[in-house]
Amino acid sequence: MAIVYDEKNQVFFLHTQNTTYQMKVDRYGYLLHLYYGKKMEASMEYMLTYYDRGFSGNPYDAGQDRAYSLDVLPQEFPVLGTGDYRSTALKVREGNSCLGCDLRYGGCRITDGKYSLPGLPAVYAEEAQTLEIILKEERLGLEAVLLYGVLEDCDIITRSVRITNVSGEKVYLEKVSSACLDFLYGQYDFITFYGRHAMERNLQRVRIAHGRQSVGSTRGCSSHQYNPFVILAGSDTAEDKGECYGAAFVYSGSFCAEAERDQFQQIRFVMGLSEEQFSYPLNRGESFYAPEVVLSYSAEGLNDLSDHFHQCVREHICRGKYKNQVRPVLINSWEACYFDFDGEAIVRLAEQAAGLGIEMVVMDDGWFGSRNDDTSSLGDWEVNERKLGCTLSELSEKVHEKGVGFGIWIEPEMVSEDSLLYRAHPEWAMRIPGKTPVRARSQLVLDFANPEVVQYIFDKICAVLRQGRIDYVKWDMNRSLSDIYSEKAEEQGRVLYDYMLGVYSLLERLTAEFPDILWEGCSGGGGRFDMGMLFYTPQIWCSDNTDAIDRVYIQYGTSFGYPLSAISAHVSAVPNHQTGRMTGMHTRGVTAMTGAFGYELDLGKLNEDEKAQVKEQIAMYHRTAPLLLSGRYYRLSNPFTEEFGAWMVVDSRKECALLHVVLLEIHGNMPVNYVKLQGLDASADYRDEGTGKRYSGAALMAYGMPIPLKYGEYQAYRILLSKVSPSEAD
């Protein structure tokens, strides 16, 4: 059994293949955290210690026992109001503005299968178990049900909470975190992924020091600035050794992840919704569901931890037709022509694409309303037939006649002030009454907390998608939220959360209505690269920055929590449109082919040599795409500290491996770089399919492979290794 409850001692054991999670109901009914780490059958209750600590208060139930304090004890779901002054998971405000809650154990349920969350994305699995632990607050009439999902095979434990106002007066949830981990001792680093638009998910690793360290977003989206995936790692943990804990928030809105070392050297980690502009009203009989946190532990280093999350995303987050399919190679019109196109230009792009082996053409922004720049027409989801010179159905048919698929770009959550929709319904845009709104990219945000708005957009997008054969849709979001207000909400503290429910509702309905469409998420590139979006879109545009060298850094950081199959990456033109950098076609291909592969350039401007390279890249991609989609990924270097980026993918039987290396610096009289490989069969030999050279798997992992010196900047290598059969070895 994955979940075991020792009723006599009131200890819970959550077992995965390699890990154990333990907690205990103590004599006062508080739920204490005991352990999370390597698989362990014995109870870790003996680790709890009790001493009289100055200025650490004691529950009234404890009488004169000054050695018992929740300010010191490790807890599963700490709440404000119990004498615990560390970060808490729950804050509840009463109608009289008092803050204080006291949750006690009220029972448990163990069921087969994985729980789901109404209106929210969540991990799904048939081969799983669910634990529900009921906590009650009698004075307020509140019930908090802690939800635990256990996926044994991939060493994943999920956490969420359902809070119900059972019988009390209206209260306000001022903070709700879905997961808390308490560590009694130890030195841990806080690994986070910071960035900005066009330079997302840079790795930052700092020691957890005294005080609270936090990352998060208050932008209404998970953001370019901080990703809702973090790692707690031992101070000596590396890619191939050491213990580490990962936590991913399955949510696309504002969030917060906090790490705190307290006065007694203990560490607490809390992850959940951002407190800013959150004050959710809960009337009698109503329930609130917190978004899910996915947890995993590894004693074998960061690469192993990443593999747990990659497997979880591929098999238990992503859904639909393309979940396990190789994605079509596409060409996007954006960097080819921006807004300057018509139907003939798209058909011409399709013809050029077909001649090179590209399988899909995507018509990006500018096909609707009167939109010829980014200042108008968002919300007017009517095809601009005058601009295209034909109907969307006719254009789709012409593109398909060239032998390629057809896709379009949409931005459903936004509205331009210069639009028919805004002129008809200005109240549908988020803006605080009497205040001029904050503009971003000349657009405002539609009030998706209003179901009427969501229904309208659903109907309009459906009408477009029914006008011909649409094979792909890129869903974009190009600004952060501000001026948070909904005319339909009596309590504005619920709007940010309800907005995300509206977004998820639209995504769920559209993906169900059009199951054969390949949906790609985007928010100015990587501004909403999270597991919440991956529940609906199996791939996400990794960054608006298509520069091959910057992408080495961006995709490196992304790989810690997300698989290659989720990373959309394209070869673009040079000089690069974001950086002006010049890199060769081969290097651009090496970087882009470690994701959902495509192109972002004007095919008509390619010379014959470049066209030949495109054909070669597509052939190589198709040969190796199944490996990239499902193989085990290894980071072999840190581009932030080394002169090269190196990574590889190995199939489950260790018969095939694909090594990528991009040189990031060039100097006179360069030393040779050596890359140690991982994941191979140490008892076998491997052949380089390009050169025919044979290598010992053991040697490649122990001593590495020398990377040949070549003249010129940003050289790149893509080496396919195949295991030599026993007969060949002899």
Bond before 626 cis per omega within 30 degrees:
no
Q: Could you give the 3-state DSSP secondary structure of residue 170?
A: coil
Distance of CA 241 to the CA centre of its chain: 24
Q: Are 80 and 109 in contact (CB under 8 A)?
A: no
End-to-end CA distance of the chain: 46
Q: For residue 624, give the H/E element and its range.
A: helix 608-630
492: DSSP letter: G
Q: Are 418 and 491 in contact (CB under 8 A)?
A: no
Q: For residue 23, give the H/E element and its range.
A: strand 19-25
> What does the block give as tokens for 624?
């190796």
Instruction: Name beta bridge partners: 134.
Output: 107, 145
317: DSSP letter: I
Radius of gyration, alpha carbons of the chain: 27
Q: For residue 613, give the H/E element and its range.
A: helix 608-630
CA dist., res. 730 & res. 724, Å (int): 10
> What does the block give as tokens for 477?
């979001």
Q: Which residues make Cβ contacts (< 8 Å) with residue 251, sequence separation at least 6?
A: 120, 121, 222, 228, 273, 291, 292, 500, 530, 531, 532
User: Which of 311, 305, 335 has its CA nearest to residue 323?
Assistant: 311
Residues 7, 8, 12, 17, Cα dihedral to 10°: -100
Q: Are 333 and 367 in contact (CB under 8 A)?
A: no
Kind of pairing between the strands at 171-183 and 280-282: antiparallel
Question: Exposed, middle or buried, 355 (CB in 10 Å: 0-12/13-18/19+)?
Answer: middle
Residues taking part in catalysis: 530, 610
CA dist., res. 64 & res. 58, Å (int): 8
Q: Could you give the 3-state DSSP secondary structure of residue 632?
A: strand
User: Which of 206, 204, 213 has its CA nearest to residue 261?
Assistant: 213
Q: Is 345 left (phi over 0), alpha (psi -120 to 50) or beta?
A: alpha
Place of tokens 């396990």: 324
Q: Are 324 and 629 in contact (CB under 8 A)?
A: yes
Q: Could you give the 3-state DSSP secondary structure of residue 600?
A: strand
User: Which of 28, 23, 29 has its CA nearest to residue 43?
Assistant: 23
Place of tokens 């009454």: 433
Q: Which amino acid is at 650?
A: V
Distance of CA 347 to the CA centre of its chain: 35
User: Which of 249, 281, 65, 295 has its CA nearest to residue 168?
Assistant: 281
CA dist., res. 249 & res. 159, Å (int): 10
Question: Exposed, middle or buried, 669 (CB in 10 Å: 0-12/13-18/19+)?
Answer: exposed
437: DSSP letter: P
Q: For residue 309, give the H/E element and its range.
A: helix 302-312
